[in-house]
Amino acid sequence: MQGILYEIIEYFQYENKDQLKCELGLNRIGHIDWIPNEKWIKYTINLKNCIRLRDLMFWIQKGLVLMSIEQILKLCRSLLIKVDELKQNKLNHFYLTSDRIWLKLNQNSKLLTISQNEIQYDIVFTGFQCPIFESDSQQQDASISILNIINQLIQDVQFAFKELPYTQQYYNCNFLSLGNHKDVFQAESEIDQLIKLYKQFPNYDPYIKEFQQHICKRSELEKYLGNYLFEIVSFSYSYESFLMENFIFGMIPMLGGCIRDNDLKELEQNSYDIYLQEQKQYWEDFIRNTFKDKTLKQLREIFEELKKQVKLEISKEDEQMMTDQILKEIKNICIFKYFFNSKWAWINQKCEDQFIKNLLPSLEQITNLRVKLWIQEMCLQFLNELI
């Protein structure tokens, strides 16, 4: 997307490395670091030439991006073809979601802008073998998941067209049935037919005239909005990618409204730094408040058990220092980082509970290790005093 050019980092768990290598061979994107001891991989993906499908759906729904019906049809077909490709190679993706699907732009492709642009891309999947920890969803065949994703995409596009009566009418009359398919091959066949007959349907002329007028109206703002997006990305560049994304995506509904109203005055009234600092503080407080009491409780239980065997006391200062260290260390755990792959995990109602559930085993391990280190330190200190 023009102006939205930065790197994001994502973590995914895996079970079978050899199988994952086969899956990644058909889905090359970004830079991958293997974390073999923990069976995780780390993606570094540059948004200059990659678009997460979930992001694109949000941009369309909020009016930041404009895509023609033909482009949407071709995107749906590309998604179905990708699933076919997996099947042909005897592979599957049992945890496929729209935030694990990417449009990888070809080398000579244009960037998306607020006015309609033809882009050339390949579809890439990520997150093979990795459970959807934020929702605890069960495994599901990719052919089922992709139809659900296409259905959501169609709903988002329909919502985006509500300001364009001829476009919406044309869309509703000819394309809404796409969201009702239960079979990949049936959906693919219908899409091929729709693309073939795209310009022959009744009401095509009023639709395309209205759509082109809309493109012209938006193109007047294209340069300014591209520069504005670049500015807010540059401003937030010192923050982690999750906070950058939260900040940028928080601005998008307002940007969509400015484009719709052809009025950019509201863009001049925002205090970026205050918003970013508030977001940073919110997440720091959330993490601390989520685990502080649990950490203290566990520490005290451990020391209560130890006191039954040896005379051992921990000061409030040491207890606080140990808690701070544990809370700092837990942020380096892969499962913790997974939950901050993107903002989309946190729109799930179960996410907070799942976050706690999946982090508690790691919290217990870190706490036990930290207590052992503290005891060793106390023993060394005692020996030094004797000497």
Final residue in a domain of this structure, among 222, 245, 275 = 222
Using alpha carbons, list the distances in angstroms from residue 343 to 243, 245, 381. 9, 7, 46
Using alpha carbons, list the distances in angstroms from residue 128 to 83, 139, 387. 13, 11, 57
Is the domain of 137 the same as that of 48?
A: yes
Q: How deeply is 75 buried, as exposed, middle or buried, from its count of CB atoms within 10 A (0-12, 13-18, 19+)?
A: buried
Is the domain of 173 the same as that of 303?
A: no
Final residue in a domain of this structure, among 222, 249, 268 = 222
Give the pairing type, strands 50-52 and 101-105. Answer: antiparallel
Percentage of the chain with pLDDT > 90?
49
137 part of a folded domain: yes
Task: Count CB-CB contacts under 10 A for residue 247.
Answer: 21
255 part of a folded domain: no
Give the amino acid at 222. Answer: E
Q: Which two tokens stand for residue 309?
A: 């065997």
Is the domain of 196 the same as that of 296?
A: no
Strand order from edge to edge, sheet including 7-13 = 7-13, 40-46, 31-35
pLDDT, one tens digit per residue, over 296-308 is: 888 888 877 777 7
170 part of a folded domain: yes
DSSP-derived letter for residue 36 is T
Residue with tokens 């940007």: 255
pTM of the model: 0.92
Pick the closest to residue 3 from 43, 45, 47, 44 (CA basis).
47
Greater pLDDT, 10 or 154: 10
Is the domain of 205 the same as that of 310?
A: no
pLDDT of residue 53: 97
pLDDT, one tens digit per residue, over 24-36 is: 999 999 999 999 8
- Over residues 77-106, the mean pLDDT reads 96
Q: Which residues span the domain enclosing 208?
A: 7-222
Final residue in a domain of this structure, among 207, 222, 237 = 222
Pick the closest to residue 150 from 97, 198, 195, 112 (CA basis).
97
Strands (E), the chain: 7-13, 31-35, 40-46, 50-52, 101-105, 121-125
Is the domain of 185 the same as that of 302?
A: no
Is the domain of 338 the same as that of 216?
A: no
Given a contact cutoff of 8 angstroms between Cβ atoms, the answer to whether 37 and 333 are in contact is no
Is the domain of 164 the same as that of 66?
A: yes
Q: Residue 228 above 80 pLDDT?
A: yes
235 part of a folded domain: no
97 part of a folded domain: yes
Is the domain of 209 the same as that of 98?
A: yes
Is the domain of 64 the same as that of 151?
A: yes
Work out the pLDDT band at 352, boundaries 50, 70, 90. Answer: very high
Average pLDDT of the residues of the chain = 89
The total number of structural domains that make up the chain: 2
Is the domain of 216 the same as that of 321?
A: no
Q: Residue 322 above 90 pLDDT?
A: no
Work out the pLDDT band at 41, boundaries 50, 70, 90. Answer: very high
pLDDT of residue 378: 66
- Over residues 325-353, the mean pLDDT reads 94
Is the domain of 42 the same as that of 149?
A: yes
Q: Residue 155 above 70 pLDDT?
A: yes
Is the domain of 206 the same as that of 339?
A: no
Cα separation, 381 vs 378, in Å, equals 5
Helix (H) / strand (E) element for 291: namely: helix 272-307
Given a contact cutoff of 8 angstroms between Cβ atoms, the answer to whether 241 and 7 are in contact is yes
Ramachandran sector of residue 90 (left: φ over 0; alpha: ψ -120 to 50; beta: rest): left
156 part of a folded domain: yes
pLDDT, one tens digit per residue, over 196-226 is: 888 888 888 999 999 999 888 888 888 888 8
